[in-house]
Amino acid sequence: MEISVTVNGKTYRHNVPPRLLLVHYLREQLNLTGAHVGCDTSQCGACVVDVNAQSVKSCTMLAVQADGAQVTTIEGLATNGAYHPMQESFWEMHGLQCGFCTPGMIMSATALLQRNSNPTDAEIRHALEGNLCRCTGYENIVKAVRHAAQQGRAGSNGSMHQGAKPEVPESAEELEHPRRDDGVPEKPETVGDWEGENAGVDETTPMGQGGM
Amino acid sequence: MYPSDFEYAAPTTVQEALELLRQNPEAKVLAGGHSLLPAMRIRLMSPPLLVDIGKLSELKGVRADGGVAIGALTTYHDLEASSELAQRLPVLVECASNVGDPQVRNRGTIGGSIAHADPAADMPAVVLALGAEMKVVGPNGERTISADDFFVDMLQTALEPGELLTEITVPPMPEQMGAAYEKFKHPASGYAIVGVAVMVHRGADGNVSDCRIAVTGAGPRAQRARAAEDALKSGMDVAEAAARASDGLEYIGDISASEEYRANLVRVLTKRALTRAMEQLR
């Protein structure tokens, strides 16, 4: 089935099988591997992306359901090589260890601040209920979100500064892989076929876990 | 994990959706997909066709018409954000805001929850306690099913093949009404190990004139705790009534909670919910 999806501002058209999950479309067709497949049971939140400005778990949505939608992934947050304020706050407050849950955490946290710019700690925890972290014990994640909210309120126009941090000079480009899709030779104006590694899979075997 | 292969259709009118369901008796209706897609991913369900009703915008939204009518495709998030419900039926807002997590609430729908009839889902208990009616369309036109008749067994409802749940209507409530939902959450899944929804009315004489108590999570389907309802209506106090809440229910024990533990939760949560509901009576 042919779909047209705008991801991080770029429109793609592909022929995809109906059973293709959005997270696999993003990872394997568009090479946007920031959204992770963690639990595969809609619980861990490592796959969270925005679809039409709503935070969703991309492992529990079909790619065909995203037809015509505007999708933002973690790769779409940084602008001009500078981290998004929430990404900076996670850095600043040490809101991650292994980093597996981080893209989902950051996507959920930015969704929270969009509807509530001054959340209490309880509201932050409630908003992150759908994101599991196995390393940090959540303390620093909550601190990071609180810090981002404070920074946002301190900013003159209500949003945080977007400049590169002094501690992350030119290496920022290299460290953050701001937009992997930039280097991907996709065909935005043509219809491509689903080329993921599971494209011609045997019906009888359970599918792979999607990998990291 | 991928679901097994299926065909996909996204009709733009209810009539089109009904026609697809009529032609394909094995098809499943896809709403928010937050029960169906996980079940398909583990191959618990393998429908040959998904009829995605996501484009049927007429099935979305909350409307006041004496009582309240809620489109089947209204998401939990929309229930949470509804000022209409906050004013008239805050128990629905309270329940919706405790379903799953923000991402689940952005996609999951009230109609999907009710039509799927997961034994541990929250909404079936609340609509049962509120005495809601399910509006359904199918090959033989429209009909209405009361919540009391709707939940038949585990994952089984009174919906006939080819029928589509379109709207949930809650009848007008008297001024003297209180309602509450209490839930003991499974810490990992967020589903109710037990959830209890209650509604109480007070008559002109100051006594409880009507009471409905509905339990989810304890057994195969949402069920009324009639012994406790009768006790409260006969003039017993909240503690005495709640002590009877676990009587006459069906139970299922599993690795999370035994039957006995669930029965205890039914009594404890009924007491908490009734206490809160009674406090709302003016």
Distance of residue A129 Cα from the nearest chain B Cα, in angstroms: 6
Q: Let me know whether A119 and A56 are in one domain.
A: no
Q: Let me know whether A92 and A171 are in one domain.
A: yes
Q: Which amino acid is at B202?
A: R
Nearest CB to B50; choose among A18, A67, A129: A18
pLDDT above 90 covers a percentage of chain A that reads 68
Whole-number Å distance between alpha carbons of B218 and B258: 10
For B85, the token pair is: 């419900």
At A173 the pLDDT is: 39
Asked if the Cβ–Cβ distance from B106 to A42 is below 8 Å, we say no
Residue B247 in domain: yes
Q: Let me know whether A114 and A151 are in one domain.
A: yes
Q: Let me know whether A95 and A164 are in one domain.
A: yes
At B169 the pLDDT is: 98
Distance of residue B207 Cα from the nearest chain A Cα, in angstroms: 38
A118 touches chain B (CB under 8 A): no
Integer CA distances (angstroms), B119 to A208, B192, B252, in order: 30, 9, 10
pLDDT tens digits for range B120-161: 999 999 999 999 999 999 999 999 999 999 999 999 999 999
Residue A202 in domain: no
A81 touches chain B (CB under 8 A): no
For residue B160, the 8-state DSSP code is: P
Chain-wide mean pLDDT for chain B? 96
Tell me the three-class secondary structure of chain A, residue by residue. Answer: CEEEEEECCEEEEEECCCCCEHHHHHHHHCCCCCCCCCCCCCCCCCCEEEECCEEEEHHHCEHHHHCCCEEECHHHCCECCECCHHHHHHHHCCCCCCCCCHHHHHHHHHHHHHHCCCCCHHHHHHHCCCCCCCCCCCHHHHHHHHHHHHHHHHCCCCCCCCCCCCCCCCHHHHHHCCCHHHHCCCCCCCCEECCCCCCCCCCCCCCCCCCC
pLDDT tens digits for range B231-275: 999 999 999 999 999 999 999 999 999 999 999 999 999 999 999
Q: Which one has a higher pLDDT value, B55 or A211?
A: B55
For residue B61, the 8-state DSSP code is: S
Q: Let me know whether A183 and A144 are in one domain.
A: no
Residues of chain A contacting B7 with CB distance shorter than 8 Å: 18
At B19 the pLDDT is: 98
Residue B268 in domain: yes
Q: Is the ipTM of this complex over 0.95?
A: no
Q: Which of residues 208-267 of B touch A (CB under 8 A)?
A: none
Starting at the edge strand found earlier in the chain, the sheet holding A54-57 runs A54-57, A48-51, A70-72, A2-7, A10-15, A192-193
- Give chain A's domain count: 2
Residue A165 in domain: yes
For A97, the token pair is: 């260890």
Q: Let me know whether A96 and A67 are in one domain.
A: no
Q: Let me know whether A36 and A49 are in one domain.
A: yes
Query: In this model, does residue A40 exceed pLDDT 90?
Result: no
Summarize the confidence of residues A154-174 as an average pLDDT: 42
Summarize the confidence of residues A115-139 as an average pLDDT: 94
Residue A139 in domain: yes
Q: Let me know whether A111 and A172 are in one domain.
A: yes
Q: Let me know whether A162 and A186 are in one domain.
A: no
pLDDT tens digits for range A11-30: 999 999 999 999 999 999 99
Asked if the Cβ–Cβ distance from B103 to A48 is below 8 Å, we say yes
Residue A137 in domain: yes
Summarize the confidence of residues B111-120 as an average pLDDT: 97
Radius of gyration over every alpha carbon of chain B, rounded to an integer in angstroms: 19
Whole-number Å distance between alpha carbons of B260 and B239: 19
Residue-number span of the structural domain to which B19 is assigned: 7-49
Q: Let me know whether A43 and A120 are in one domain.
A: no
Band (A193; pLDDT cuts 50, 70, 90): confident
Residue B99 in domain: no
A18 touches chain B (CB under 8 A): yes
Are residues A68 and A124 in contact, defined by beta-carbon separation less than 8 angstroms? no
Among A75, A59, A52, CA closest to A23: A59
- Give chain B's domain count: 2
> Which CATH number is B218's domain given?
3.30.390.50
Whole-number Å distance between alpha carbons of B188 and B259: 20
Q: Let me know whether A159 and A111 are in one domain.
A: yes
Residue-number span of the structural domain to which A132 is assigned: 85-176
Among B197, B184, B151, CA closest to B261: B184
Asked if the Cβ–Cβ distance from B5 to A127 is below 8 Å, we say no
Are residues B13 and B166 in contact, defined by beta-carbon separation less than 8 angstroms? no
Residue A42 in domain: yes
**For residue B234, with 0-12 CB atoms within 10 Å meaning exposed, 13-18 middle and 19 or more buried, which class applies?**
exposed
Whole-number Å distance between alpha carbons of A122 and A110: 16
Q: Using N-to-C axis directions, what is the helix angle for B226-233 and B259-279, rounded to 10°?
A: 30
For residue B223, the 8-state DSSP code is: E
> Which CATH number is A63's domain given?
3.10.20.30
B51 touches chain A (CB under 8 A): no
> Which CATH number is A104's domain given?
1.10.150.120
B181, containing H or E segment: strand B177-185
The alpha carbon of residue B270 and the mean position of all alpha carbons in its chain are separated, in whole angstroms, by 17
Residue A198 in domain: no
Q: Which one has a higher pLDDT value, B95 or A176?
A: B95
B158 touches chain A (CB under 8 A): no
Choosing among A65, A72, A108, A209, which should be mutated to test the B contact, i.e. which has the most B CBs within 10 A? A65
At A195 the pLDDT is: 63
Q: Let me know whether A94 and A168 are in one domain.
A: yes
B107 touches chain A (CB under 8 A): yes
Helix (H, G, I), strand (E, B) or coil at B205: coil
Q: Which amino acid is at B170?
A: V
Strand partners, B153: B156
Are residues A151 and A145 in contact, defined by beta-carbon separation less than 8 angstroms? no
Whole-number Å distance between alpha carbons of B38 and B189: 12
Q: Which amino acid is at B34?
A: H
Residue B141 in domain: no
Residue B236 in domain: yes
Residue B127 in domain: no
Residue A106 in domain: yes
Residue A24 in domain: yes
Strand partners, B198: B180, B213
Whole-number Å distance between alpha carbons of B98 and B85: 15
